[in-house]
Amino acid sequence: MEEQSGTRTGRWRRALREPSTLSLEERLYRVIRSDIESGTLPAGALLPSSARVAQELTLKETDVQSAFARLLGEGLLTVREGGQLCIASRGPAASVGDETQRRFEASLLKAMREAQARGLSSSEASGMFKAALLRLSEGERGKEQDKDGDKGG
């Protein structure tokens, strides 16, 4: 399964390369905050460790920790069991609960591993998952239309 954090730090790296008078810590904080607010980093998404981010972006780990601490303080990040940082749930999604999220992630990871064991690439496996979600969504719309049809007749 392609690791999203690698993609994230790539985006963060590009943002940090742009000329600025702001400190690296401030720029990292702002790009992560922007990713959270835009939904690029959805609720429940796991963040790589501060050590990993520091290594990949060639920053001081204290700068990364400081950016993460600010986001934690603002309630944009939360700490899971084991100390792993993730994007905090906001709005209706917050009612789903951590246990449901963990079960879902475990099931998805299992399915991705099975797909890879059968020779599918990460892209193919992700495509299958997206197709299944689309079929599910279409099925739900069909049920709603059936209910609406029953009301009219």
pLDDT at position 3 is 36
pLDDT at 94 over 70: no
pLDDT at 129 over 80: no
Domains of the chain: 4-89 (1.10.10.10), 97-152 (no CATH)
Mean pLDDT of all residues in the chain?
A: 79
**Burial annotation 74-108 (CB, 10 A radius, 16+ → b, else e):** eebbbeeeeeebbbbbeeeeeeeeeeebeeeeeee
Residue with tokens 């050590």: 51
This prediction's pTM = 0.57
pLDDT at 40 over 80: yes
The H or E element that residue 149 is part of is: helix 122-152
Provide Rg for the chain, Cα atoms: 19
Q: How confident is the model at residue 5 (pLDDT cuts 50, 70, 90)?
A: very low
pLDDT digits (tens, 9 = 90+) for 99-124: 566 677 777 778 877 888 889 887 78
pLDDT digits (tens, 9 = 90+) for 15-27: 888 888 999 999 9
pLDDT at position 89 is 83
pLDDT digits (tens, 9 = 90+) for 45-74: 889 999 999 999 999 999 999 999 999 999
pLDDT at position 95 is 46
Average of per-residue pLDDT across 6-17: 76
User: Which residues, including other chains, have CB under 8 Å from residue 74's CB and lie 6 or more apart?
Assistant: 33
